[in-house]
Amino acid sequence: MCAHLRLAGLALALSMGMTAAVAHQPAQRSAAELMDVLMWSRETIGGPFKLLDQHGKRRTEAAFRGKLMLVYFGFTSCSDVCPTDLLQMGQAVEQLGRLGDDVQPIFITLDPARDTAKRLAAYVTSFHPRLLGLGGSAAAVRQAASAYRVYYKQVGTGTDYTIDHSAFIYLMGSDGKYLGFFPPGTHAERMVEIIRPYLVSQ
């Protein structure tokens, strides 16, 4: 089970003036605030992260310079939007053919406590052979999520908890800079249309 935050709900929240006026720590900002930042690119989106991949290897974003990055945050027990969007993301890379070699698809878990390297390894291969699964310490994940203005919150306790999270696919340029995002439910074909010009002009 995975409660996703839909654009419509967030837009409604924004129009109702729910954007908190109080200064929050980045980690505690509301979903509406973060949506607002993302929609209008009010702040820098993306940046350095230090995480561990599904083989236990340390990865930083700097290693992907020269490639476009598709970055998605979610968690492997999510049964709803995460698998759907990751499937479309994987298909987009596939449909780009050889150009797709210059795109690095990345899945970053928001549930590092349960998403071990082993679990990430089993998960990512079902979406694309080159999909990189990243996790690590809760602090490292928090830092990465914060850099991408991702909202996430654990709901419930014990072993059955789920995670509310924003679900955007971030498109990052070959210089590591943010280009834009694909909202939940974007089809692979649409992603291809938007990504291809960046690859052809490189």
Residues that bind Ni ion (CB under 5 A): 2, 74, 78, 81-82
Q: Which residue is nearest to Ni ion (CB)?
A: 78
Closest CB 163 distance from Ni ion, rounded Å? 7
Q: Closer CB to Ni ion, residue 2 or residue 124?
A: 2
User: Alpha-carbon distance 51 to 85, whole Å?
Assistant: 22
Q: Closer CB to Ni ion, residue 64 or residue 166?
A: 166
Closest CB 98 distance from Ni ion, rounded Å? 31
Strands 103-109 and 68-74: parallel
Strands 178-182 and 50-53: unpaired
User: Alpha-carbon distance 186 to 61, whole Å?
Assistant: 24
Lookup: tokens for 178: 């943010």
Q: Closer CB to Ni ion, residue 35 or residue 199?
A: 35
Closest CB 144 distance from Ni ion, rounded Å? 16
Q: How big is the CA angle at 79 (ends 161 and 131), to the nearest 5 degrees? A: 110
Closest CB 136 distance from Ni ion, rounded Å? 19
DSSP state for residue 67 in the 8-state scheme = S
Closest CB 105 distance from Ni ion, rounded Å? 16
Three-class secondary structure of residue 170 per DSSP: strand
Q: Closer CB to Ni ion, residue 163 or residue 172?
A: 163
Q: Closer CB to Ni ion, residue 2 or residue 195?
A: 2
Please list the residues that pair with 53 across neighbouring strands. 134
User: Alpha-carbon distance 56 to 53, whole Å?
Assistant: 5
Considering all CA atoms of the chain, what is the largest pairwise distance in Å, rounded to the nearest integer?
A: 50
Q: Closer CB to Ni ion, residue 82 or residue 171?
A: 82
Residue pair 3/156 in contact (Cβ under 8 Å)? The answer is no
Closest CB 128 distance from Ni ion, rounded Å? 17
